[in-house]
Every structure is written in C-alpha cells, then in structure tokens.
Amino acid sequence: MTLQSEIFEQPERLAYLLHSQRETVEKIAAAIRQSDIHYVFLAARGTSDNAGRYANYLWGAQNQLPLALATPSLFTYYNRPPKLDGALVVGVSQSGQSPDIVSVIEEGRRQGCLTLSITNEPDSPLARAADLVLDIQAGDEKAVAATKTYTTELLAIAMLSAALADDKTHWRELGKVSGWAERVLKQDVPISHLTERYRFMRQCVVLGRGFNYCTAFEWALKLKELTYTVAEPYSSADFQHGPIAMVEGGFPVLAVAPRGKVFDSMQEMLGRLRGDQLAELVIISDDKGALSLAQSPIQLPDGIPEWLTPIVSIIPAQLFAYHLTRAKGINPEKPRTIGKVTETY
C-alpha cells in the first residue's frame, strides 16, 4: 500500500463510513441532545487539528455550537486546565495515541463533561478515555502523510452535524460525497503534468476561507511534510492584513475557491493577485471565472454544497502534493524526520 493508493482508496472508504456508522452517529447525536451542551471543546494535533478547523465552521454554522480549540499544554505541562462547564469535549486523532490529546478527554470526564473521541483506532487510549467513540473506518493507513484518515475525519464531523440537525437533505447530500471524490480523482494525470511547473518551488502561500480554511491548512501541511516547501496557509481575509506584501511577480499562490458564501471575496483577491502582483496561481474551484485566473487550474465537480467542499477539494490538493514530491525527486513514502505516529505531551 502506497500514498497514492491510499489517496485513491478514499471514495470507497467514504462510502463505507457513511453506510457503517450512520446508526452510531445518530446515537451520539441523541446523547449530545440529552446533555446540557453549550459549546464544543476540541483537542487535536497535525492533520486532525485541520479537521477541527472544519468542525469549527460546520458545527457553528449548521448546529449553532460554538467551538473552542484546546491548548493541550495547559493540561500537561502547566497542569492548569480551564473550567469546562457545559462543554462537549472532543478528541480527534487518527491513532488515538497522543498523550496530550488523551489528557484533555480525561480532564473533561473528571469535570463531568460528555466526551467524544473521533479516531481510526477504536481500541486506542483516546477511545478508552471517552464516553462516546466514533470510528472513522479508514482502515490501515501505512503512508506517513495522512490522506484517507483526514477525509474520513471530515466526513465523520459532517455526519454528526447532519444527525444533530436531523436534516434529511444533508444526509442525501452526504450520500453523494464518495461519487464526487471518485470524479475528482480522474484528474490524477493532468495534475501530475502541471506539478512539473513547480518542481523548483521553495515557498508559497495557500489561501482558503470559510469552510475551506481547513483545506488551506491541510494542503500547506502536505506540501511541508512531503515536498519540504515553506507553505504558509492563510484565510484570504487575514492575508490582506500584511502578508500580501510578500507577493511579487511569479510568487506561487495556491488557492481553494469553490462557489459559496465566501466565493466573491476569494475571487476578488485572486483577481488582484493575478492582475496587480502578477502572482503564479494554482486554483482549485468549480467556477470557470476563478479557474480562468489560474496558470494552473484544477476543476472540482459541479454541484457540491459548500459545506461538503472541504471533503472533496482536499483530494486534488493531495494529488498535487504527491506528484510534486515525485517531481522534486523525493520519496513520498519516506519523508525525512517524521514518522506515522507522533506522541506529544
């Protein structure tokens, strides 16, 4: 099993998760409704932290649940955890092994909070520490760079949102995700060709906004850990508050800009970057106008609801990072320094 094969496994894994875990998700949603939950307190690291960014937008927008991202060092090194009254305490971790994430769940239970683990390892320390467990059903992930565990984490978060809202339309839309994922994978060869243009890239910025703020961070992470590119993720709004000054002619800007509530602001920014700064643009979008601005356009399937675009839009970004790694002559199966499971305290 290779990184590329795991990327291509995602449609199957997404379909299986939706089928196998819907009943579990609805039971978890019922338990949450029965508790006096005022907000979500979520702990994660690395790729799972980016899944948490998705939950921040999704559960806030569709379920009116404010979300706070935990600072695990308060629970470990400082031993001064905050009061968590009224919180649903969530730990998100593919391996479920990291002691600092486990410590947040354990403290949540000690304070009498309802706790939930979202993990690919239902027998892990994280799962054993939580009241509720949502197994993301990704199967064994051998590659160091997380791909299918990320998209299944996103889908698990989206499923819980649909269950909490008791929204049949959302469940129908979720049923189309694996098909959209399969369609976008058909761009594997064109993406492999366009990455040749960036084989000497040493730095770039990655832009996203709204639901796809998480996609900017995850795309940047994949570029860092696989290609060793200094890739800095930004909200397109934050980017205007200073960082845009670094862009000059030919500077690479990678952007995720599907149609939705924030699309107009993203397109305005991309037009400015192409017109005024003469930036080198790689754009993932389902809009022809946005794609026309890019030297390297990557088409998303039409018809994806904005709230589900992060699950699909990260897949061409994964392919881009994979093929760029190979174009640079780096082994994508053995990125330097890092390993599959990282335990932090």
- Residues labelled as active-site residues: 340
Distance CA 17, CA 14 (A): 5
55: Cβ–Cβ under 8 A, 6 or more apart, which residues? 40, 42, 67, 90, 92, 157
Distance CA 265, CA 262 (A): 6
**C-alpha count within 13 angstroms, C-beta hemisphere, residue 152:** 34
Distance CA 186, CA 269 (A): 29
CA 131 to chain centre: 24
Distance CA 245, CA 250 (A): 14
Strand-pair category, 296-299 with 39-44: unpaired
188, burial (CB in 10 Å: exposed 0-12, middle 13-18, buried 19+): middle
Q: What angle do CA 65, 69, 72 make, to 5 degrees?
A: 140
Distance CA 59, CA 91 (A): 15
The β-bridge partners of 285 are 299
CA distances from 121 to 231, 341, 344 (A): 30, 12, 17
147 close to 10: Cβ distance less than 8 angstroms = yes
Sign of CA dihedral 179, 260, 253, 230: negative
Give all strands (DSSP E) within the chain, no chain letters. Answer: 39-44, 67-69, 87-93, 114-119, 132-135, 203-208, 230-235, 252-256, 280-285, 296-299
